[in-house]
Amino acid sequence: MCGIAGFICFERDNGRPEWAAIAHSMGETLNHRGPDDKGQWACPAGVLIHRRLSVIDPDRGRQPMTRTQGEKEYTIIYNGELYNTEQLRQDLVQRGYRFETSSDTEVLLTAYMAYGEEVGSHLEGIYAFVIWDGARGQFFACRDRFGVKPFFYAWTDDGAFVFGSELKALFAYPGLRPRVDSAGWCEVLGLGPARTAGVGVFAGVEELKPAHYLVLTPGGARQAQYWTLVSRPHTEDYDDTVHHVRELVSGAIRRQLVSDVPLCTFLSGGLDSSVISAVAALDYGQRGLPPLETYSFDYTDNAKYFQPSAFQPDADWPWVERMVDTFHTRHRVLTCPIPDLVHLLDEAVAAKDLPGMADVDSSLLYFCRQVAQTHVVALSGECADEVFGGYPWFERPEMLYADTFPWSRDLAARREVFQQPLWKRLGVEDYVQYRYGQSVAETPRLEGEDRENTRRREVAWLNLNWFMSTLLDRKDRMSMASGLEVRVPFCDHHLVEYVWNIPWSMKAMNGQRKQVLRDAAEGLLPVDVRRRPKSPYPKTHNPLYEELVRARVATILDDRHAPLHSLVDEQVLRAGLMVSAGDYGRPWFGQLMAGPQMLAYLVQLNTWMERFGLSV
């Protein structure tokens, strides 16, 4: 993976001397995404900037990369990985193209030369890239189908198009200043840590939506969508469906094991990470490679304080041991100290440029830094619950039929903490309902589907476009801030296309969520692991975490200059969350973000406002 940035303008006196300094400043903000190499390329219309984390063909895959066709030049900067590189290469060779490297960057650039603006439909992988097309005199940008790799952009007052993998890169461009308008505050206060697709939160900042491309010419800019899910009747019986799922899942995992640098998997002992680790371990054995290396995550004294709940029924460590014993992986348990968990709340904001998932972000940042000391690439089980319907809101009526986002049904916890006049003036609740209704209306419908399955399809659509996007956003920023590439096989678009149309009666055969995936893993996983109830991303149960977070909030409230004062009702906060024990059984976002995570979110809000000089 890498970091990309740049600026483009066809309408002014171009090639100015200060461009090199601007490009350098923008690129430096992304050094963490690409610690191995740096480069930039300029033409009269703009500059393309690259920071590289070497994964495939480290010696010859440098960027920006330029290739010629006749007298015309094509230049690319690219962040991502292609999983169908060899298939594309073979097709392109048959078309007469020749290659100088084994890198997927050269294959991607050549694919654009061959397929033009239709290139996105030929790609399998995770990517965001920009290409200068010398034949057409235009720039072409494209983002992967689920937005695994980020791409933000803004227009300056003098007509420049400025873009980057992260928001911070944009604000290194002269004249672009971080500012948040009422819609941006509604995003952060009402929807956060989720975010509307295409919205960059900061005023004037947008995001290239997943499965979209953008073309910039002297005549202007245009965007188009190159892929979307299609709802159609599912015609296979259950046995054939299980077989099909098994083939799609194992194929996606095996394709993503390609790497010229050390690779590992994250292993929690849950169904999703266990499937990935099992397929990877067996593949390594078949190829005669050293044992697969795996990592699991925990917190100081977690075993001492763990309490089962409806959302987190058991601890991970016995299941991890079961998997390690079965597949003989070289395993390491990473344990996060609680003070680090709190300290890294600020660094997680610096990584994401927005307030995020509180300790879910900071812990992942800690773990990724540890993994990155020995590995460059990791595979993770994200997206399986969104794709296969693993969350309780797919079946609990009060969640399934909630006329709002099911992972954030009740805004009361937010409404009580923030100042009521501000909350009402911004129209936070109306904004949330508007975004919800807008997204539901976009759901691909299936004619003749009954009310229950229609609603499940809506909830599945919301999950893919909101909840999954939030997790992918978190994974990219925390891993890339550590110089680690994390791949997500369950986000394979062939798999998602197929599972999208499997009816709920098969997905949850015999009333068991994700049963079709469990049955697809028969013969692969130990029976008890295959049947293990869902357990989410591991969290700390150590009361020290809540104690330290409360102390952080108290320090902020005691500072009369802290920007958080402009948002919160201090009296309510001091009398409520600051004194009551956290209830992990009643989350305000997702499954485990409860009282302590609300306090941590406020810490991140304050850090974010300080970092960017924001006021409301």
pLDDT single digits (tens) 9-33: 987 655 677 888 999 999 999 999 9
- In CATH, the number for domain 238-530 is 3.40.50.620
| Cα–Cα distance measured from residue 201 to residue 470, given in angstroms and rounded to the nearest whole number | 14
C-alpha dist (Å) from residue 496 to 181, 275, 493, 504, 584: 35, 16, 5, 14, 31
CA-CA-CA-CA torsion for 208, 212, 213, 216, nearest 10 degrees? Answer: -50
Residues whose CB is less than 8 angstroms from the CB of residue 561 and which lie 6 or more positions away in sequence, other chains included:
none
What integer pLDDT is reported at residue 597 of this predicted model?
92
| Cα–Cα distance measured from residue 570 to residue 553, given in angstroms and rounded to the nearest whole number | 10
What integer pLDDT is reported at residue 594 of this predicted model?
87
| Cα–Cα distance measured from residue 405 to residue 402, given in angstroms and rounded to the nearest whole number | 7
**Helix, strand, or coil here: 55?**
coil
DSSP codes of every residue in 150-188: --EEEE-TTS-EEEESSHHHHTTSTT------HHHHHII
Angle at 198 between CA 197 and CA 204, to 5 degrees: 140
Q: Residue 89: what are its φ and ψ, rounded to 5°?
A: -60, -45
Residues whose CB is less than 8 angstroms from the CB of residue 166 and which lie 6 or more positions away in sequence, other chains included:
3, 29, 30, 33, 150, 152, 353, 477
What integer pLDDT is reported at residue 30 of this predicted model?
96
What integer pLDDT is reported at residue 535 of this predicted model?
75
- State CA 549 to chain mean position distance: 25
- Asked if residues 221 and 155 have their Cβ atoms less than 8 Å apart, the reply is no
Residues whose CB is less than 8 angstroms from the CB of residue 223 and which lie 6 or more positions away in sequence, other chains included:
208, 209, 212, 213, 214, 215
| Cα–Cα distance measured from residue 362 to residue 346, given in angstroms and rounded to the nearest whole number | 8
Residue 35 β-bridge partners: 52
Whether the domain at 2-225 and the domain at 238-530 fall into the same CATH topology: no
Fold of 2-225: Glutamine Phosphoribosylpyrophosphate, subunit 1, domain 1 (3.60.20)
How many CA within 13 A on the CB side of residue 574? 9
CA-CA-CA-CA torsion for 456, 462, 464, 467, nearest 10 degrees? Answer: -120
- The structural domains of the chain, with segments of one domain joined by +, span 2-225, 238-530
| Cα–Cα distance measured from residue 175 to residue 156, given in angstroms and rounded to the nearest whole number | 7
| Cα–Cα distance measured from residue 476 to residue 167, given in angstroms and rounded to the nearest whole number | 13
| Cα–Cα distance measured from residue 532 to residue 537, given in angstroms and rounded to the nearest whole number | 14
How many CA within 13 A on the CB side of residue 600? 32
| Cα–Cα distance measured from residue 249 to residue 502, given in angstroms and rounded to the nearest whole number | 15
Say which of 2, 186, 336, 491 is annotated catalytic.
2
Using H for helix, E for strand and C for coil, what is the string for 430-471? HHHHHHHHHHHHCCCCCCCCCHHHHHHHHHHHHHHHHHHHHH
Which residues of the chain are under the pLDDT cut of 50? none
pLDDT single digits (tens) 281-325: 999 999 999 999 999 999 998 888 777 665 566 778 899 999 999
Q: pTM, whole model, 2 decimals?
A: 0.96
Looking at residue 365, its amino acid is L
What one-character DSSP code corresponds to residue 249? H
- Is 142 in the active site? no
